[in-house]
């Protein structure tokens, strides 16, 4: 489903991704963890071409992108086949929840408004907000806004969902409602990659955990073994730090 080969990214002279190799099977849920600045967001952003990769190959479904020859057609294909959810929701403030979701259906997919609204309400129901279609983002809690953002990302029927720390801007009491929606998506069989600091959640939902540090994948393993027997000293240190901070029990 996803195959990344020797992905490198420079921001000017700053070498941020230093050769990422990663293969993800259809339906798999992968969690990416690692210290701040290790390149996790950049990796996700390269995957849906919000950032241009400097070197390497990214294959998503049937589309293969070579860093040096990305044509407009494959760029659009990749954008449409990936749904991305950010830390800060990024909803359109001047549109209702429903309009946030139907926007792409109407403009990109050219679906007629009434039909788009039906799909929009179905998606709002999926994220537990069937009664909030007419609300503007300012009238919703952070958790609700993030759930609208998830529904919006699902609207174009992506083959791959990318979540970049979807709960880290939320008040603690709102985290669970968003994690539950993500859990449902992952369990539903949609290929999912999530960057998260919620290690317990990562262990629960992910088939595989990937640990990044300084622009490289340092270690990867199935979720159980990853936490029980981390191999690399940097992985151990990272897990220990989180364990102490959050009284996280394995």
Check residue 41 for interaction with Mg ion (CB under 5 A).
yes
Least distance from ligand ATP to the Cβ atom of residue 12, Å: 7
Residue recorded with tokens 């959640």: 201
Residue 138: how many other CB atoms lie within 10 Å:
9
Closer residue to Mg ion, CB minimum distance, 222 or 245: 245
Check residue 10 for interaction with ligand ATP (CB under 6 A).
no
Closer residue to ligand ATP, CB minimum distance, 82 or 96: 82
Interaction mask 15-44, ligand ATP, x per CB under 6 A: -x-----------------x-xxxxxxx--
Check residue 196 for interaction with ligand ATP (CB under 6 A).
no
Q: Which residues of 61-94 are buried (b: 16+ CB within 10 A; e: fewer)?
A: bebebebeeeeeebeebbbbbbbbbbbebebeee
Cα separation, 89 vs 18, whole angstroms: 29
Interaction mask 40-79, ligand ATP, x per CB under 6 A: xxx-------------------------------------
Contact 44, 195 (CB under 8 A): yes
Check residue 167 for interaction with Mg ion (CB under 5 A).
no
Q: Three-class SS of residue 6?
A: strand
Q: Three-class SS of residue 190?
A: coil
Q: What are the residues binding ligand ATP (CB under 6 A)?
A: 11, 14, 16, 34, 36-42
């Amino acid at each position: 489903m996803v195959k990344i080969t020797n992905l490198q990214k420079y921001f000017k002279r700053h070498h941020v991704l230093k050769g990422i190799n990663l293969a993800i099977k259809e339906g798999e849920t992968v969690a990416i963890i690692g210290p701040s600045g290790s390149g996790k967001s950049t990796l996700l952003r390269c995957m849906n071409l919000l950032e241009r990769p400097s070197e390497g190959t990214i294959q998503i479904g049937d589309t293969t992108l070579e860093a040096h020859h990305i044509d407009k057609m494959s760029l659009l294909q990749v954008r449409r086949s990936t749904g991305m959810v950010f830390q800060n929701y990024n909803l359109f403030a001047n549109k209702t929840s429903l309009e946030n979701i139907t926007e792409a259906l109407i403009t990109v997919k050219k679906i007629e408004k009434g039909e788009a609204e039906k799909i929009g309400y179905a998606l709002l129901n999926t994220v537990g907000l069937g009664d909030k279609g007419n609300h503007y983002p300012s009238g919703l809690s952070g958790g609700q806004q993030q759930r609208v953002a998830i529904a919006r990302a699902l609207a174009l029927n992506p083959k791959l969902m990318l979540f970049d720390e979807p709960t880290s801007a939320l008040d603690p009491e709102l985290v669970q409602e968003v994690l539950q929606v993500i859990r449902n998506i992952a369990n539903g069989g949609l290929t999912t990659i999530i960057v998260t600091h919620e290690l317990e959640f990562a262990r629960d939902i992910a088939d595989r955990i990937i640990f990044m540090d300084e622009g490289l994948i340092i270690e990867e393993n199935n979720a159980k073994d990853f936490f029980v027997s981390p191999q690399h000293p940097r992985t151990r240190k990272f897990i220990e730090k989180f364990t102490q901070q959050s009284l996280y029990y394995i």
